Amino acid sequence: MSDSTISTPSHDLWQEGISESGDGRIQRGRPDWTDAVFLVLLAVGAGYALSRFAGSMDYYEKIILCGAVPVLTWMGWLWRPLRRLMIAAALASGLAIMLYGNDLGRAEQVFFLKYLLSSQSAILWMSALFVLATACYWIGLFSPTAAWLGSALTWGAVFAGVTGMLVRWREGHLMGPDLGHIPVSNLYEVFVLFSLITAMFYLYYERRYNTRALGGFVLLVISSAVMFLLWYAFTRDAAQIQPLVPALKSWWMKLHVPANFIGYGTFSLAAMVGFAYLVKEHGQTTSWLKLAPLFVLGVLLCAEPMVFRTQGLSAAWMEYFGLGAVIVSGILLGRRRIAAALPPLEVLDDIMYRAITIGFAFFTVATVLGALWAADAWGAYWQWDPKETWALIVWLNYAAWLHMRLIKGLRGVMAAYWALVGLLITGFAFLGVNMFLSGLHSYGQL
């Protein structure tokens, strides 16, 4: 067993209500009394929200809130650490709301709001912790203590990000009754959402497969998102809460956008696991010709964010590209040591498959919801808008991947390279369309 593998004592597994299967994966046990208590807590929280904020919710939003109770209870049973995260974030955001009272100006007056719990402060903490976690995970390939710290910092980043998003939701309502909305309406907010979803899915698989060795790979894509988030926030003043454009004033947004970003997050996770698979596969090779396709794909992924420019190639994004190329080169140069610390190829292949399966399911749901939303907003389910067209391309790409997997037995190197190419396609559908192609989704332009 490699140093990066977590050894979980049997009594700890029992306390979590889980067991370990023969292949090392964590298995979920039957629901117990703690699940019932968690259900009651969620129901009480939903009842409180309905009693206090009913005036700010329409009929559909109330249904979504009530429906979230059993869904979150099920998720908490499936993955027990998620319950602690939800409770901690609820307490922290509740404290922030209490400190605000009904005065948004207190964000600059109250210490805990100014430096910890306001949405911008919490999201900045999230960003810093993700970057630190990335470094610790890479060091952790050679030092178990650093790997543990990377995991702890990732949990801290997720806690800060979830708290920031919940507080931002309330801040919008404090700015005015017409400004309050779920914080998934612009690039700043969805990049936070993307980072959180990708990190939470990674943490789930980290626990399920009993290894922290993939953290450095997955956190690289999250750190890239964080770099864009910070650049976007400070150069475009994007962290400010803005009124919704008419097309976004719909309850469909609360379902379509999260489902869409579960797809984006899991596709990104699968791509980085695919990268790890290729590093493991070529760990002992001495031929740089075999490594050339992987190097080219890695550099292309580093170069893709350079399209976030206004006039020419900015110095910041040239530096980003240079740093990314150095990181890819460093990984390939150190592939032997890294490959030795990674889980077996079968485990990497299984994680990649499961992540794409989940992502494809949610992306399909998001596409259907988007069509229904389009019919409600624009009077047609499908109009071959550039965003719709590229969403279809993404869907077809992963549908083909799964078809080849299930029908033709796609495995190994080809599957991993395909997952990496899929991230390039997904990245363009997510951002490239908004920047280069006009259409009905032009409200998402930079």
pLDDT by residue for the chain (446 residues), tens only, comes to: 344 443 333 333 434 445 444 444 555 668 889 999 999 999 999 999 898 888 778 788 888 889 999 999 999 999 999 999 999 999 999 999 999 988 888 988 999 999 999 999 999 999 999 999 999 999 999 888 899 999 999 999 999 999 999 999 999 888 877 778 889 888 899 999 999 999 999 999 999 999 999 999 999 999 989 988 998 888 888 888 888 877 777 878 888 999 999 999 999 999 999 999 999 998 877 677 777 777 777 767 766 555 544 444 566 667 777 787 888 888 888 889 999 999 999 999 999 999 999 999 999 999 999 888 888 877 778 888 888 888 999 999 999 999 999 998 889 899 999 999 999 899 888 877 666 655 555 555 55
Query: Looking at residue 431, what is its pLDDT?
Result: 78
Is 6 inside any structural domain? Answer: no
- Listed residue (224, 182, 126) closest to 431, CA to CA: 224
- Listed residue (390, 292, 395, 283) closest to 340, CA to CA: 283
**Same domain as 181, residue 133:** yes
Is 9 inside any structural domain? Answer: no
Query: Looking at residue 97, what is its pLDDT?
Result: 92
Is 17 inside any structural domain? Answer: no
Query: Looking at residue 298, what is its pLDDT?
Result: 74
**Same domain as 377, residue 274:** yes
| CB half-sphere exposure, 251, CA atoms < 13 A | 10
Query: Looking at residue 23, what is its pLDDT?
Result: 47
8 A C-beta contact, residue 169 and residue 251: no
Query: Looking at residue 259, what is its pLDDT?
Result: 94
The residues facing 20 across adjacent strands are 26
**Same domain as 276, residue 232:** no
Domain count, the chain: 2
**Same domain as 274, residue 421:** yes
**Same domain as 357, residue 265:** yes
Query: Looking at residue 80, what is its pLDDT?
Result: 92
Is 213 inside any structural domain? Answer: yes
Question: Among 244, 272, 299, where does a domain finish?
Answer: 244
**Same domain as 446, residue 416:** yes
Is 250 inside any structural domain? Answer: no
d(CA 343, CA 107): 45
Q: What b/e string do you get for 243-266 counting C-beta neighbours within 10 Å, with b at 16 or more?
A: ebeebbeebbbbbbbbbbbbbbbb
Query: Looking at residue 212, what is its pLDDT?
Result: 94
**Same domain as 425, residue 395:** yes
Query: Looking at residue 9, what is its pLDDT?
Result: 38
**Same domain as 284, residue 157:** no
**Same domain as 344, residue 206:** no
Domain that holds residue 434: 259-446
Q: What is the dihedral of CA 128, 243, 113, 133, to 10 degrees?
A: -10
**Same domain as 172, residue 282:** no
Query: Looking at residue 167, what is its pLDDT?
Result: 95
d(CA 352, CA 49): 38
- Within 10 angstroms of residue 142's Cβ, the number of other Cβ atoms is 15
Q: Where are the alpha helices (DSSP H) in 16-79?
A: 33-53, 59-78
**Same domain as 187, residue 119:** yes
Query: What pTM did the predictor assign?
Result: 0.89
Is 379 inside any structural domain? Answer: yes
Is 239 inside any structural domain? Answer: yes
**Same domain as 231, residue 297:** no
